[in-house]
Amino acid sequence: MGYAQLVIGPAGSGKSTYCSSLHQHCETTRRTIHIVNLDPAAENFDYPVAMDIRELISLDDVMEELGLGPNGGLMYCMEHLEENLDEWLTEELDNYLDDDYLVFDCPGQIELFSHVPVLKNFVEHLRRKNFNVCVVYLLDSQFITDVTKFISGCMASLSAMVQLELPHVNILSKMDLVTNKKDVENYLDPEPQLLLAELNKRMAPQFQKLNKSLIEVVDQYSMVSFLPLDLRKESSIQYILSQIDNCIQYGEDADVKVKDFDPEEDD
């Protein structure tokens, strides 16, 4: 059985930086992971790339040959990937052992994990190849400055969870860049009623029923829980990784290794 993280989130939320830091952490702890680039527009990497979608198709080539813009070109690239799951991806996955750990660094276009079925079909292909997969959804902590933005981030994350139907770990990234951490910490594990009261204060009275429904959805799906990630602290990275490992049961299926000793010869 293989293991995989699908790293998603809005553009600029720190997905590639997370992958790079995760790779450095695993190198330090002598643990092996393989990071896969699924962004056809990516150019530079701070981590060794195990598999690269640009070997199949690149955004620059699509824009030049088909005359598409950046967003349309990227969607074309991802749909081309979807069409080649049984060929290109299967061939690439054959290079890895059953217990290997892959981390997929995805593009930031929200359509890919909200309503377009590309990543859903990608995940289903991984599961058919006997991979346990966890979605790692990153949200920029500097974006969480008030309750309305927090709810917006929760709704985007919930949309991905419903679309992909996978274990889901939500991360507030870039905590090391936040100047006033108390403002963000209030949203790490907030009380639903406090959220509702604050939301009602910020919005017109005619939206109170909508506000109540949104908070109930967030509370029902346990989407108000985010894990803070401070890349300056190894303990923060390790805690995040342990939560993800628990979701995909990494290590639980490993056989107990018993050292063999030669029996002592009788005198």
pLDDT in tens, 111-169: 888 888 999 999 999 999 999 999 999 999 887 878 888 888 888 888 898 899 999 99
pLDDT at 260: 46
What does the pLDDT average to over 173-188?
A: 82
Handedness of CA 187, 193, 198, 203 (dihedral sign): positive
Least confident of 61-65, 132-136, 249-253: 249-253
pLDDT at 257: 43
pLDDT at 259: 44
What CA–CA distance (Å, rounded) separates 90 from 126? Answer: 9
Domain spans, the chain: 2-188+225-248, 190-224
- CA distance to 43, 55, 89, 129, 180, per residue, from 49 (Å): 12, 11, 15, 21, 35
Structure tokens at 119: 């990543």
Nearest Cα residue to 101 out of 257, 254, 255, 232: 254
The domain 2-188+225-248 is classified under which CATH number: 3.10.180.10, 3.40.50.300, 3.40.50.150, 3.20.20.210?
3.40.50.300
- Give the helix/strand (H/E) hosting 134: strand 131-140
Please tell me the pTM assigned to this model. Answer: 0.88
Handedness of CA 37, 120, 111, 73 (dihedral sign): positive
State the DSSP code for 81: H
> With contact defined as beta carbons under 8 Å apart, do 158 and 217 qualify?
yes
Number of helical (H) and strand (E) elements in the chain, helices listed first: 11, 7
Q: Where are the alpha helices (DSSP H) in the chain?
A: 15-28, 59-66, 70-83, 90-93, 111-114, 118-128, 147-164, 181-185, 192-202, 208-220, 234-247
Rg of the chain over CA atoms, in angstroms?
21
Structure tokens at 70: 């950046």
Other C-beta atoms within 10 Å of 103: how many? 22
- Give the helix/strand (H/E) hosting 140: strand 131-140
What does the pLDDT average to over 220-231?
A: 79
Other C-beta atoms within 10 Å of 27: how many? 13
What CA–CA distance (Å, rounded) separates 232 from 174? Answer: 10
Least confident of 57-66, 177-186, 210-219: 177-186
What CA–CA distance (Å, rounded) separates 11 from 178? Answer: 18
